[in-house]
Structure 1
Amino acid sequence: MSSVVSYEDVVRTLDDLPSLPAVVMELLNSIDQEDVDIAVLAKKVSHDQALTAKTLRLANSSLYGLQVKVTTIQQAITFLGFQTTRNLITAAALTGCFAESHCPGFHHQAFWRHSIATAACAKVLARQMRFNQDYAFTAGLLHDIGRLVLVSCFPQQYGQALAYRKAHDCYMLEAERSVLGVDHVDAGLALAEHWNFSDTMRLAIAGHHDPETPGAGFLAAIIHIANAVVHALDLVEDEDDLVPPISSVAWNALGLNEEAYLHLFRETELQYEEISMVLLG
């Protein structure tokens, strides 16, 4: 059986994927809208008890440093704002959405740990850059979502790609292209289209390995650097991990000094531990 997968194959299989709760789809689709009826959305979310519990645990984590304990989605919105609460709901839903797949060599927990660490790092970077922290957090969480698409829809072929990476000691993108013919960026974009992600998110997913592409946008540069920092800190403790090459254009665009990076490393490690406990605990 040929292991080559076309972009069309990926698009065709998206309907077989688990779908996000309807309220989360609504939240993702309203990311660029101002006139959202927050009370209605809060009410809809609270009907999903598991999602509500996870979201509130995240809202009460030290990531947000609230002085009060929030016990309802409406309270979370009051104290954290709508954007942030929406992001927490999305994070809580996404990490519970994909079942563990039977793909040889793929570690579901390690995947989410890397995504959560990248989200935490991107949020800290965005704060330093005075960029929208909520966009950065969500984009960090979603940057590799295409890997989950490939793992869920083509587990055997993706297992071969993982074996290829090990044998050739190369980057995952290279292994995916060699074995499958498509990579996780392609698959991530197909899912972003399917789930109606905003253009901001699509650009970040598209450009996180190649932020120098014209029109990639500043968020792609933030995610690119956050991804590299997380690999370098080895938070996921993957013995085969390779630090991806860093774009000097992205590095210079962020223009941070050594002190800022040391702060970034420390903050990322602290927040990663706590968010992992809440989302994967």
Structure 2
Amino acid sequence: MNEAPTLADVAGRIRSLPAMPTVALELLHTLTETDASSADLVDLARRIAQDQAITARVLRVANSPFYGLQSRVASINDAIVVLGFSAVRSLVLAAAVMASLPGGPCTGFSQERFWRHVLGTAAAAQAIGKRLGRPSEALFIAGLLHDIGRLALVVLYPARYAATLAAAREQDRGLQETELAFFGFDHAAVGASLAEHWHFPAEIADALAWHHQPDRGKAGGLAAIVHYADAIAQALDLDESEDSQVARLQEDAVASLGLDWDALLAVLADTQTRFDSYRLMLG
């Protein structure tokens, strides 16, 4: 096997990854905006509708039982009117990321299981946020993107990452720990580089960088919630992986969220319900 790349090597090769759709990046940069003008909504609907793949994914979720709509939503514009700009923006971002960043050929890596896991983490992050009174949209996006660095490693270094996956299974150790052994850094560090390259909002970038080490993230930020959501998605086996491992939790970070047993049970049920809707994006 070739010499392990450095993080600087990865950062340099990130430019070769498929670009996220312009509309997705623009929407991501508007996460801090609370209001959108009528003209903005009309322009959004028009531009999204031009991409049939994204539109189809969004409408499948919009028409799921989770939203409980009385009549079927037939267009992005209708979805915005009925569900609201924020909800549709989250769904569009998810659909765009899934459509534009497919995994490459890497032995042992399942693209479907990957997307099931991150959608599950996004659902869990929203469910936790609901109990904490935190806005759900940024949590959904942070959960969706938290492992994007892993996808980059699969695409850029498929042979080395295949060996990483095999070693993790054979040695029964955590994937993050095995990434550090094979690369000298983990997917969270790569995710932070991607966030910088694509100019993600600061709170999203912080969650990507520190979801395995939330004590190093911004105080009161999203990292601790995504950290817990990641473990919940794995505990619920939402990716249906035979060798899924529950992530090691930082007890202080989890305790800081203040969720008691009853709240956790509610989070687990809410996560499953949300995931059953979001997984419709997978077709």
**Aligned-residue offset at 1:265:** 1.5
Whether the 8 Å contact between 2:203 and 2:221 is mirrored in structure 1 is no
Whether the 8 Å contact between 2:118 and 2:146 is mirrored in structure 1 is yes
Which stretch of structure 1 is more off in the superposition, 189-198 or 209-218?
209-218
Question: What TM-score, normalized by structure 1, do the two folds share?
Answer: 0.93
Q: Which amino acid aligns with 1:194?
A: H
User: Which of 104, 107, 130 matches 1:104?
Assistant: 107
Q: Which residue of 2 aligns with 1:157?
A: 160
What is the CA–CA distance in structure 2 between the aligned matches of 1:202 and 1:231, rounded to whole Å? Answer: 22
User: Which of 203, 220, 224 matches 2:227?
Assistant: 224
User: Which of 199, 203, 206 matches 2:206?
Assistant: 203
What is the CA–CA distance in structure 1 between the aligned matches of 2:17 and 2:154, rounded to whole Å? Answer: 11
Q: Which residue of 2 aligns with 1:166?
A: 169
The structure-2 alpha-carbon separation of the partners of 1:214 and 1:207, relative to structure 1 and needing over 3 Å to count, comes to closer
Q: Which amino acid aligns with 2:148?
A: I
Q: Within 5 Å, give how 1:26-175 maps onto structure 2.
A: 26-33=26-33, 37-175=40-178
Whether the 8 Å contact between 2:143 and 2:226 is mirrored in structure 1 is yes
Q: Which residue of 2 aligns with 1:279?
A: 281
How many pairs were matched up? Answer: 280
Which stretch of structure 1 is more off in the superposition, 122-131 or 245-254?
245-254
What is the CA–CA distance in structure 2 between the aligned matches of 1:216 and 1:102, rounded to whole Å? Answer: 38
Which stretch of structure 1 is more off in the superposition, 194-203 or 257-266?
257-266
Query: Tell me, what secondary structure is at the counterpart of 2:239?
Result: coil
Structure 1: any 5+ residue segments left out of the alignment?
Answer: none
Structure 2: any 5+ residue segments left out of the alignment?
Answer: none
Whether the 8 Å contact between 1:28 and 1:196 is mirrored in structure 2 is no
What is the CA–CA distance in structure 1 between the aligned matches of 2:47 and 2:275, rounded to whole Å? Answer: 29
What is the CA–CA distance in structure 1 between the aligned matches of 2:154 and 2:3, rounded to whole Å? Answer: 13
Q: Which residue of 2 aligns with 1:22?
A: 22
What is the CA–CA distance in structure 2 between the aligned matches of 1:54 and 1:233, rounded to whole Å? Answer: 24
Query: Tell me, what secondary structure is at the counterpart of 1:218?
Result: coil
What is the CA–CA distance in structure 2 between the aligned matches of 1:61 and 1:55, rounded to whole Å? Answer: 10
The structure-2 alpha-carbon separation of the partners of 1:214 and 1:121, relative to structure 1 and needing over 3 Å to count, comes to closer
Q: Which amino acid aligns with 1:198?
A: P
Q: Which amino acid aligns with 1:279?
A: M
- RMSD value, Cα: 1.7
Q: Deviation per CA, 1:6-51: give whole Å up to 9, x if none.
A: 1111112112211122211211122224575232222111111221
**Aligned-residue offset at 1:195:** 1.6
The structure-2 alpha-carbon separation of the partners of 1:4 and 1:162, relative to structure 1 and needing over 3 Å to count, comes to same
The structure-2 alpha-carbon separation of the partners of 1:89 and 1:214, relative to structure 1 and needing over 3 Å to count, comes to closer
Query: Tell me, what secondary structure is at the counterpart of 2:67?
Result: coil
Q: Deviation per CA, 1:217-246: give whole Å up to 9, x if none.
A: 431111111111111222223222221121
Percent identical among aligned pairs is 40
What is the CA–CA distance in structure 1 between the aligned matches of 2:219 and 2:146, rounded to whole Å? Answer: 13
User: Which of 267, 271, 274 matches 1:268?
Assistant: 271
What is the CA–CA distance in structure 1 between the aligned matches of 2:71 and 2:128, rounded to whole Å? Answer: 26
What is the CA–CA distance in structure 2 between the aligned matches of 1:3 and 1:27, rounded to whole Å? Answer: 38
Question: What TM-score, normalized by structure 2, do the two folds share?
Answer: 0.93
Query: Tell me, what secondary structure is at the counterpart of 2:8?
Result: helix
Whether the 8 Å contact between 2:119 and 2:143 is mirrored in structure 1 is yes
Q: Which amino acid aligns with 1:5?
A: P
What is the CA–CA distance in structure 2 between the aligned matches of 1:30 and 1:134, rounded to whole Å? Answer: 11
Whether the 8 Å contact between 1:29 and 1:198 is mirrored in structure 2 is yes
What is the CA–CA distance in structure 2 between the aligned matches of 1:219 and 1:262, rounded to whole Å? Answer: 21
